[in-house]
């Protein structure tokens, strides 16, 4: 008998994650080019010789620090290997085969992955004006719906849903549905009407807010993220948490990062200044783009995104092609906002590519 014959059918349907390709100037994976806090780097060095020991399995100090940082109950904080693992925990803890999971298309890759892994029904709602169509998502909820994912800001477009839109949506969500508000890019947001998602956690709603240290804190290589939820929901997630899931170096780096608000502010300033620079360049080139609340921009380059990507690689620059998000985005690329020098190099290369 072949291995394929032994494989669970839903596992056979899984599509492996396709990571952003690397290059001397990598603008493909929404990483922070300024790097982590010096305090985090120092903490990693100071604790490097202690990696012979297993890490704290419940991340005691980091949990307490995050609870204080966000003024939430520490029992409601769940820490994982990136917010990806919290998404995985949601599937393991709550999803039964045949139940429904609702998310927007194009989706973040982990939403369909988890839905397929748990043998659940995908209910996909096309984005409207490149943003989540929350009224349509609410309308799609049935008695079999268990989980709804809302990425805010939305990857890959950088759009967001407002405080009012989320409030109206939450009014329509029944008690048997869990809402995952995925806020990986939260620290980059500058919109005045962005929702205070933690209010729903404090109200005891079935909501988990997902955050990460991979983006603004620049700890992507350590894999560190967390969820904030009402304690009963968080306790259920902890029941499926793997032992020693978060490394000791990730824990101390996260703690140190929270003690350095200037690192966050430097990173925010860079993105705010450089997205204005890139907007101006795209305007000058006559390219359509979507105003962003993240550290990336979705832009229509007017030619096949794969062709554009390959030509940019010749200039040592990697971006993300739009075709992976669906055929309607075949001419779009997603570019991470880099340093000014990186952005100048990218624009110079893009002009040469499009001139050809």
How far apart CA 55 and CA 57 sit, in angstroms, is 6
Same domain, 208 and 292: no
Residue 75: give its domain's CATH number.
3.40.640.10
What does the alpha-carbon distance between residue 23 and residue 316 come to, in Å, rounded to a whole number?
A: 6
Q: Where are the beta strands (DSSP E) in the chain?
A: 25-26, 77-80, 100-105, 121-126, 145-151, 178-182, 207-212, 225-228, 288-290, 296-300, 317-318, 320-321, 332-336
Q: Could you give the CA distance from residue 107 to residue 147 in angstroms, rounded to a whole number?
A: 14
Q: Of 259, 278, 297, which residue constitutes the final position of a domain?
A: 259
- Omega into 153 within 30° of 0, i.e. cis? yes
Q: Are strands 296-300 and 332-336 parallel, antiparallel or unpaired?
A: antiparallel
334 and 189 in a common domain: no
Q: Which residues neighbour 24 within 8 Å (Cβ) at sequence distance 6 or greater? A: 316, 317
Domain presence at residue 4:
no
Partners of residue 79 on adjacent β-strands: 226
3-state helix, strand, coil split of the chain in percent (to 5) is 45, 15, 40
Q: Hey, is 104 helix, strand or coil?
A: strand
Q: What is the DSSP letter of 316?
A: T
**Rounded Cα distance, 197 and 189, in Å:** 13
Residue 9 covered by a domain:
no
CA 289 to chain centre: 20
Domain that holds residue 320: 18-33+262-355
Residues 156, 225: one domain? yes
What is the CATH number for 302?
3.90.1150.10
CA distance 107 to 114: 12
- Residue 91 half-sphere exposure, CB side, CA atoms within 13 Å? 23
Verify that 133 and 267 share a domain, yes or no: no
Q: Are residues 168 and 266 in the same domain?
A: no
pLDDT tens-place values along the chain, 356 residues long: 777 777 888 877 877 766 767 789 999 999 999 999 999 999 999 999 999 999 999 999 999 999 999 999 999 999 999 999 999 999 999 999 999 999 999 998 999 999 999 999 999 999 999 999 999 999 999 999 999 999 999 999 999 999 999 999 999 999 999 999 999 999 999 999 999 999 999 999 999 999 999 999 999 999 999 999 999 999 999 999 999 999 999 999 999 999 999 999 999 999 999 999 999 999 999 999 999 999 999 999 999 999 999 999 999 999 999 888 888 899 999 999 999 999 999 999 999 999 97
Number of folded domains in the chain?
Answer: 2
The pLDDT value recorded for residue 71 is 97
- Residues 104-132: tens digit of each pLDDT: 999 989 999 999 999 999 999 999 999 99
SS3 for 142-209, per residue?
A: CCCEEEEEEECCCCCCCCCCCHHHHHHHHHHCCCCCEEEEECCCHHHCCCCCCCCCHHHHHCCCCEEE
Q: Contact, 123 vs 146, CB < 8 A?
A: no
Longest dimension (CA), the chain: 61
Residues 298 and 287 occupy one common structural domain: yes
- Dig out the tokens for 21 from the structure: 């390709």
């Amino acid at each position: 008998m072949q291995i394929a014959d032994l494989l669970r059918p839903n596992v056979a349907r899984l599509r492996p994650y396709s990571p952003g390709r690397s290059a001397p100037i990598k603008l493909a994976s929404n990483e922070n080019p300024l790097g982590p806090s010096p305090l985090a780097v120092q903490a990693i060095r100071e604790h490097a010789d202690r990696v012979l020991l297993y890490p704290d399995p419940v991340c005691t100090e980091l949990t307490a620090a995050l609870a204080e940082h966000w003024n939430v109950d520490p029992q409601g904080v769940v820490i994982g290997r990136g917010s990806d693992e919290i998404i995985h925990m949601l599937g393991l803890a709550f999803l039964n085969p045949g139940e429904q999971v609702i998310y927007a298309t194009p989706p973040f890759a982990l939403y369909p992955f988890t839905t397929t892994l748990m043998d659940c029904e995908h209910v996909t709602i096309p984005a409207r004006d490149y943003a989540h169509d929350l009224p349509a998502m609410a309308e799609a909820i049935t008695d079999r719906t268990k989980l709804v994912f809302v990425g805010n800001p939305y990857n890959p477009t950088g759009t967001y849903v407002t405080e009012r839109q989320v409030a109206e949506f939450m009014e329509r969500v029944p008690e048997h549905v869990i809402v995952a508000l995925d806020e990986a890019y939260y620290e980059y947001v500058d919109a005045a009407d962005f929702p205070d998602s933690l209010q729903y956690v404090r109200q005891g709603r079935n909501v988990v807010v997902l955050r990460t240290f991979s983006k603004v804190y620049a700890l992507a290589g350590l894999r560190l993220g967390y969820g904030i939820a009402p304690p009963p929901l968080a306790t259920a997630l902890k029941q499926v948490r793997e032992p020693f899931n978060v490394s000791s170096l990730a824990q101390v780096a996260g703690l140190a990062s929270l003690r350095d608000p200037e690192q966050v502010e430097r990173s925010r300033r860079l993105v705010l200044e450089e997205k204005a620079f890139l907007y101006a360049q795209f305007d000058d080139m006559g390219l359509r783009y979507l105003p962003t609340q993240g550290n990336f921009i979705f832009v229509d380059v007017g030619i096949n995104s794969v062709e554009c990507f390959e030509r940019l690689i010749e200039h040592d620059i990697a971006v993300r092609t739009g075709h992976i998000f669906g055929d309607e985005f075949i001419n779009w690329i997603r570019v991470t906002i880099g340093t000014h020098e990186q952005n100048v190099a990218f624009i110079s290369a893009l002009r040469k590519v499009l001139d050809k």
